[in-house]
Structure 1
């Protein structure tokens, strides 16, 4: 482990309840962490099979890729654009197994690819249950469950070339949802997260780990206790870079802080909202780095 220049805190999924208070502290101070020892839920083999499926999907003709349409605002295929010319991505919004089947059908996925995508989606959902449950437990919230919360995959490809080294792969942003699990590229770096001082910390490739980070919904839901982390992707080397991000979006009903996190010393900070309305707010205002949350603050 020591060989990795890792400034980002590490959470061991097999070491609970011992790490409960560390998990809360890390989510308050950093808003992100490396997760290790989760392979009983998501195996290295399944992660590597998923990476192969992802690479083959990006090799499909453009007209097939474009069939990956929006299920909610901005959730479908993104072609390289003027703003992000090095970047292309698929989106998969999951509220049930039918959504995974529909995505596979849109892209003519083979039965093996379908099986991998289905297993991966199930494993990631199980990790969402584990991590969010442990976090809620650490915050002292008694009845917490993510039943019925949809999640979304954003499957990314960066075409980094020699002439693009030093440029931006994806601009500074926060994630809009509750919790993100990222299977990063195991050999090509570029991801950077912002620490509390405002400095960017590189997230170096580290195989057999996942990066977990909190999004804007977690900040509102926790009544401001948990930190949403700003991050970006920089082009560090001429290479193709692939990553698979899964976003736990939030409850279908309104996002609001549980009673345990609201008292006289900590009055309710945010007006209730749905994650879909919040997504639309971020898209319409173009406030992509957490600033849109300020528009939902309850005026004293």
Structure 2
């Protein structure tokens, strides 16, 4: 286990409820075990990801955006060592099939992607239920919310050691489930109190969960939207697989009545995920600062 990153056993609820909420409030990041996704499937998916990211550029560019930033991302001036492929609406079997078709996935690759996407989507829904229950709320928190899938490749060379793979940022959605590269580290998360970065070392067979900006809005400021970055630690290729739970498709995000009262007035005005995503893009505020623009007059 990485120092400072809480470990949550998904098969040990409700006794883990308090630990889960504390992790969400204090760091905005935790590692989960006993998540029911087979190690073999995780390994097969990593192999598929590596092969897809090794495809010729003309094929990768067929992976077009459904919403801005949801398709292929080529290396850029800001992140020259990074590239990624994306899929919007992981919970839709049709969207997953279309993603596979864009990239000429083989029948075996297609089956692995379908099985993995279904398993990770089910896991996200389970985490949503555990979070809601731990906060004393009923229902399926993430039911019907679009989820985005992104597979990432960092092309690290001897010249890039010590440099940044991805700049400091927060995720815009509610939470991200990350399958890290079990062999190559580099992810670092910022402690809220000290502002210091903690290295998140790989832990094979586990999954990492990061909370994003929408979680802070929904929780009325209780949950920490963790700032994080990727640093180049060694000259090798690093691969990661991320699934983002974004926000409700059309409804505005706001704190449930149970989390806002006279003692805890609403800190943020209601906003849809789509409007918030556009706000981040238009302002260039990528590390949680855009939330300040949503502050209510009394907060």
Question: Offset of 1:107 from its aligned partner?
Answer: 0.5
Question: Unpaired runs of 5+ in structure 1?
Answer: none
Q: Which residue of 2 aligns with 1:190?
A: 186
CA contact (8 A) 1:179 1:249 kept: yes
Q: Which residue of 1 aligns with 2:289?
A: 291
Q: Which residue of 2 aligns with 1:16?
A: 13
Question: Offset of 1:51 from its aligned partner?
Answer: 0.3
Separation in 1 of the partners of 2:26 and 2:59? 43
Separation in 1 of the partners of 2:288 and 2:157? 30
Where does 1:130-149 land on structure 2 (aligned, <5 Å)? 130-149=126-145
Question: Offset of 1:144 from its aligned partner?
Answer: 3.7
Separation in 2 of the partners of 1:145 and 1:290? 22
Where does 1:72-87 land on structure 2 (aligned, <5 Å)? 72-87=67-82
Separation in 1 of the partners of 2:266 and 2:63? 39
The alignment status of 1:269 with 2:267, answered yes or no, reads yes
**Deviates most, 172-181 or 130-139:** 130-139
Report the RMSD for the aligned CA atoms in angstroms: 1.0
Equivalent residues, number: 295
Question: Offset of 1:22 from its aligned partner?
Answer: 0.8
* 1:43-74 CA-partner distances (Å, limit 9, x unpaired): 11110010011011011110110010111121
Question: Offset of 1:88 from its aligned partner?
Answer: 0.5
Q: Which residue of 1 aligns with 2:220?
A: 223
Separation in 2 of the partners of 1:45 and 1:272? 42
Question: Offset of 1:215 from its aligned partner?
Answer: 0.5
Separation in 2 of the partners of 1:277 and 1:154? 21
Question: Offset of 1:5 from its aligned partner?
Answer: 4.6
Question: Offset of 1:139 from its aligned partner?
Answer: 0.9
Question: Offset of 1:270 from its aligned partner?
Answer: 1.0
The alignment status of 1:129 with 2:125, answered yes or no, reads yes
